[in-house]
Each structure stands twice: as C-alpha cells, then as structure tokens.
C-alpha cells in the first residue's frame, strides 16, 4: 500500500540533528562508491522562466530507491503562488512498489540543502569563527544560517543582498524568531561584499548569480566559503581564480561540480586542476584530508546530490514507522 504524506505531517517527522548525521553518512556512502546516482535531469522554461531538477538513485543493497522532482518558477510570487514546488517518491528496491509519496512542496529539498551546508562547515570551518557571512536573502539564506547553530559557535553574522530592503526584512524576521533570540546571534547588514569578506571567516553564498560575486583578492587567510547557489549550468558565485587560490576545494560530488558547479568554471578556465578537488564524503571519513590549519582558505562547492534526497526520505520513513509502531 502506498502512503501519502502532506507537508504538515512531514515537518513533524524531521529531526535536524538526525538529518545532519544522516547526510554525513550518506556523503561517505557516495564517496565510497556505494550509491548509484545518475546525472541530474534538468528541464528549463523561458516563458514563464522556470526550471525543474530531477534527482534519483539508491544505496546499493538498501530497501528503497528514490526519485525527487523540485521546481522553481520565478514569477509565481506575482500570482500569489510559491516559487518552489516538488515531491519525493520512495519505491521498494526489492519489488518496485511505490511505498511513499512525500508531497513536501520542496521543503525537504530546502532542509537537506541547508543541512549539507552545516556538514561542510562542521568539517571545514576554522576553529574560531569570528563572524558568519551570508550572501543572499532567500529561503536558503535563512535556512543555512539556522542550520549553522548546530555545528558552529559564533555570536555575530553579517548579511548582504542586492536589495538592501530585503536584507533589513530578513534580519527583522529572524530577530523576531525565538530560535534566534535563544541563540543570541548579533545580525547586521553588510554595506558591501568587501565589508562582509573583511569581517567574516565563514561565508555562505546562496544566490542564483550568473556572474561572480566574490573575487579572489577579497578573501582573507583562514576563511571557509560554502557555495550553494551554483546548482545548474551557467550559475556562478565565485571567481574562478578564487578556486585556484584556495588551499582546499571540496565538492559534494566531483562529477557534478565539474559539470555545473563552481568547480566547472575553475577547471574550464584553467585556475583549478580537477585532481585537486576532494569529495566531502572523503573528508568526513578521513578528517585529516580536510582543513590542516586555521590559515588555510577552504571552499565547499555544493550542487546537491541525490544521496541527500535518499537519506532524508529514509529519515522520514523511519520516523513514520516508529510513530505508527508506538516506538
């Protein structure tokens, strides 16, 4: 029998610390070659502008295989509709039976994307984070900052966006939330990216930019950057020379990031040799392969891998099974 879960019920089943742990395990499985993940499927639309990402795969000898579709149609807010939508389908790896339909409206994708940023920061950020820098003002900007509390001890954050009013709205919204009040995080608007990069040694970029926002000469020694926005062909947040300058470049998936991540531009423009890129799962399994000192510049290029969707779907399934069994 197929179980269908709506968004409200899905939200009650996801535990963030468990999600972060599940993703860590999933990245290791992926880098160990224990996951079958075909290339991402993309659909692009011009009128109205939109795109759909299709990610699917399975862990070898596991119970399920998973297919996820997530869309973004960017003029939807003018129609009083959310810009994002999506669902996850969970099938039996033994019979092909559709076991679970997660009508999450892209919420699970947002959560697993933000949790991956937390995983990257856990293993790559310097020991002493003076200030967190967030570039962007959308859903992912908010969630990345929220997830970082689970792995980073820091009390200051600077936020920059192209629209200063949206930055003020974001700061006001977050300051009003009990979660951030309990954290005691001091949030302020950065007047420029120069100001943000000068003050912050943990930076997260969360925009759909199609030309670089951060140059190599703006980044100080000891900085970690997690780049989230380059999840499709043509998107770029970091100057290619910055990847060449970095002491360590980490990818969630080397093949994906070289195809359409920040690493794509670094390799294409000759600033980065593909052989220098290390997968996140390798560093989780072997921390010695990660940051070697607080003086290093590190970059995590996260394009989003189907193993994240597999792991979060399994997390929901286990939580649902435990609730139904009374565990």
* Residue pLDDT, tens place only, 95-110: 999 999 999 999 999 9
| pLDDT number for residue 74 | 86
Nearest to 215, CA basis, from 223, 277, 141: 223
Active site residue 68: yes
Using the predicted structure, report yes or no on whether residue 144 has a pLDDT greater than 60.
yes
DSSP, collapsed to helix, strand or coil, labels residue 161 as coil
Average pLDDT over residues 198-202: 98
Structure confidence at residue 173 (pLDDT): 97
Length of the chain: 327
Cα–Cα distance measured from residue 273 to residue 257, given in angstroms and rounded to the nearest whole number? 13
Model confidence pLDDT, tens digit, residues 230-263 = 989 999 999 999 999 999 999 999 999 999 999 9
Q: What is the mean pLDDT of residues 38-64?
A: 96
pLDDT value, residue 326 = 64
Q: For the chain, how long is the longest CA-to-CA vector? A: 57
User: Does the pLDDT value for residue 77 go beyond 90?
Assistant: no
Mean pLDDT estimate for the chain? 96
Using the predicted structure, report yes or no on whether residue 323 has a pLDDT greater than 90.
Answer: no
| Sign of the CA dihedral running 318, 90, 107, 28 | positive
Catalytic residue among 11, 34, 55, 68: 68
Domains within the chain, CATH numbers bracketed: 3-108+307-321 (3.30.1780.10), 114-304 (3.40.50.720)
The CA distance from 273 to 264, in Å, is: 10
Residue closest to 215 by CA, chosen among 187, 239, 181, 186: 239
Q: Give residue 132's pLDDT.
A: 98
């Amino acid at each position: 029998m197929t179980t269908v879960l709506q968004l409200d019920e899905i939200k009650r089943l996801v535990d963030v610390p468990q999600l972060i742990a599940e993703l860590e395990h999933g990245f290791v499985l992926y880098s160990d070659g224990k996951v079958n993940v075909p290339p991402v499927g993309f659909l692009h639309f011009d009128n109205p502008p939109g795109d759909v990402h299709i990610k699917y795969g399975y862990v070898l000898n596991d119970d399920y295989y998973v297919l996820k579709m997530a869309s973004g149609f960017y003029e939807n807010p003018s129609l009083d509709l959310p810009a994002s939508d999506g669902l996850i389908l969970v099938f039996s790896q033994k019979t092909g039976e559709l076991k679970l339909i997660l009508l999450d409206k892209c919420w699970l994708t947002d959560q697993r994307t933000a949790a991956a940023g937390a995983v990257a920061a856990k293993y790559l950020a310097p020991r002493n984070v003076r200030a967190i820098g967030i570039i962007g003002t959308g859903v992912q900007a908010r969630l990345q900052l929220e997830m970082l509390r689970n792995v980073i001890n820091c009390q200051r954050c600077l936020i920059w966006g192209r629209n200063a009013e949206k930055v003020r709205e974001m700061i006001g919204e977050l300051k009003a939330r009990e979660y951030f009040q309990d954290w005691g995080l001091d949030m302020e608007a950065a007047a420029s990216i120069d100001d943000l990069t000068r003050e912050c040694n943990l930076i997260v970029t969360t925009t759909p930019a199609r030309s670089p926002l951060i140059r190599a000469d703006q980044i100080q020694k000891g900085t970690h950057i997690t780049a989230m926005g380059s999840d499709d062909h043509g998107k770029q947040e970091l100057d290619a020379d910055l990847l060449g300058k970095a002491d360590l470049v980490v990818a969630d998936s080397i093949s994906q990031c070289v195809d359409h991540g920040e690493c794509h531009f670094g390799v294409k423009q000759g600033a980065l040799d593909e052989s220098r890129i290390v997968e996140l799962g390798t560093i989780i399994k072997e921390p010695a392969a990660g940051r070697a000192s607080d003086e290093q510049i590190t970059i995590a290029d996260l394009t989003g891998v189907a193993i994240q969707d597999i792991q979060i779907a399994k997390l929901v399934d286990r939580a649902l099974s435990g609730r139904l069994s009374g565990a």
